[in-house]
C-alpha cells in the first residue's frame, strides 16, 4: 500500500497481547450484554482468542498471518490462505478507532486485485450481523452458502469493480 502509511508484516510471538486486545475489540458489544465482571469477560475472551488462533493455525497452516501496521503501529490483522483454486480471506479485523477510514477497503481491494490477476475467486465466512457485510457486498461479494449465522461470501475474479465509497459517502471497514 505504497504511500498510504499502511503495511503488512508477519505476526510474531511478541504480537500476541495486541492480537488478543484486537480480538476483544471485535466482541465488545456482545460482551457488554453478558452482565459478567470485567475479569470474567477478560478470561473468556483470552480463552476464545487462544482457541480461535489455534484453530486458524491448524486449519490454515500455509496461510499468511499478517499484522496491519499504520505508520509502524499495529492497528489490525489480515489472515489469508492462498489456495490453488481460491484466495480464502480467513480474517480481517481493525481496532475500532481505525475502522471507517478506508484501511480495510484498501486491503480488500489489493487482495481482490491479486485474485483478479490470478483468476481466482476470493471467499470469506462472515457473520450475518457483521457491519462489514455492507463493505463486502459493495466490493462485489455475494452470498453463496449459509451455515447458521455465517454466510460464505464469494467475489469472482471478473466481478465488476466497486466504487471507492458507498452511497452515503462513508467508508465502511472490516471488523
Residue pLDDT, tens place only, 131-153: 888 899 999 999 999 988 899 99
Closest by CA to 116, choosing from 75, 149, 159, is: 159
pLDDT band at residue 163 under the 50/70/90 scheme: low
The torsion angles phi and psi of 47, rounded to 5 degrees, stand at -60, -45
Closest by CA to 125, choosing from 86, 76, 95, is: 86
Q: What is the pLDDT of residues 96-139, one digit of tens each?
A: 999 888 999 999 999 999 999 999 999 999 988 888 888 999 99
Q: Looking at the predicted structure, is the pLDDT value of residue 55 above 90? A: yes
Please, are residues 77 and 91 in contact by the beta-carbon 8 Å criterion?
A: yes
pLDDT at 1: 53
Q: Looking at the predicted structure, is the pLDDT value of residue 79 above 70? A: yes
Q: What is the DSSP letter of 98?
A: G
Q: Looking at the predicted structure, is the pLDDT value of residue 161 above 80? A: no
Residue 89 maps to a domain? yes
pLDDT at 73: 95
When divided into structural domains, the chain yields a total of 1
Residue 136 maps to a domain? yes
pLDDT at 40: 95
pLDDT at 171: 46
Containing structural domain, residue 120: 6-155
Residue 53 maps to a domain? yes
pLDDT at 106: 92
CATH code for the domain in which residue 47 is found = 3.40.630.30
> What integer best gives the mean pLDDT of the chain?
89
Q: What is the pLDDT of residues 25-41, one digit of tens each?
A: 999 888 999 999 999 99
Per-residue CA distances from 11 to 55, 82, 86, 136 (Å)? 16, 17, 23, 24
Residue 24 maps to a domain? yes
Residue 19 maps to a domain? yes
Residue 96 maps to a domain? yes
Residue 28 maps to a domain? yes
Amino acid at each position: 500500500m505504497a504511500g498510504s502509511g499502511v503495511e503488512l508484516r508477519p505476526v510474531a510471538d511478541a504480537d500476541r497481547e495486541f492480537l488478543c486486545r484486537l480480538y476483544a475489540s471485535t466482541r465488545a458489544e456482545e460482551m457488554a450484554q453478558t452482565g459478567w465482571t470485567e475479569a470474567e469477560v477478560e478470561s473468556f475472551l483470552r480463552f476464545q482468542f487462544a482457541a480461535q488462533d489455534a484453530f486458524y493455525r491448524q486449519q490454515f497452516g500455509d496461510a499468511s498471518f499478517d499484522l496491519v501496521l499504520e505508520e509502524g503501529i499495529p492497528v489490525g490483522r489480515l489472515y489469508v490462505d492462498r489456495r490453488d483454486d481460491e484466495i480464502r480471506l480467513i480474517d480481517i479485523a481493525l481496532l475500532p478507532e481505525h475502522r471507517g477510514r478506508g484501511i480495510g477497503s484498501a486491503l480488500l481491494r489489493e487482495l481482490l486485485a491479486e485474485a483478479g490477476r490470478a483468476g481466482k475467486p476470493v471467499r470469506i465466512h462472515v457473520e450475518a450481523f457483521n457491519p462489514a457485510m455492507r463493505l463486502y457486498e459493495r466490493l462485489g461479494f455475494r452470498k453463496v452458502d449459509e451455515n447458521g449465522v455465517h454466510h460464505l461470501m464469494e467475489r469472482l475474479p471478473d466481478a465488476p469493480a466497486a466504487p471507492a465509497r458507498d452511497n452515503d459517502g462513508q467508508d465502511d471497514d472490516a471488523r
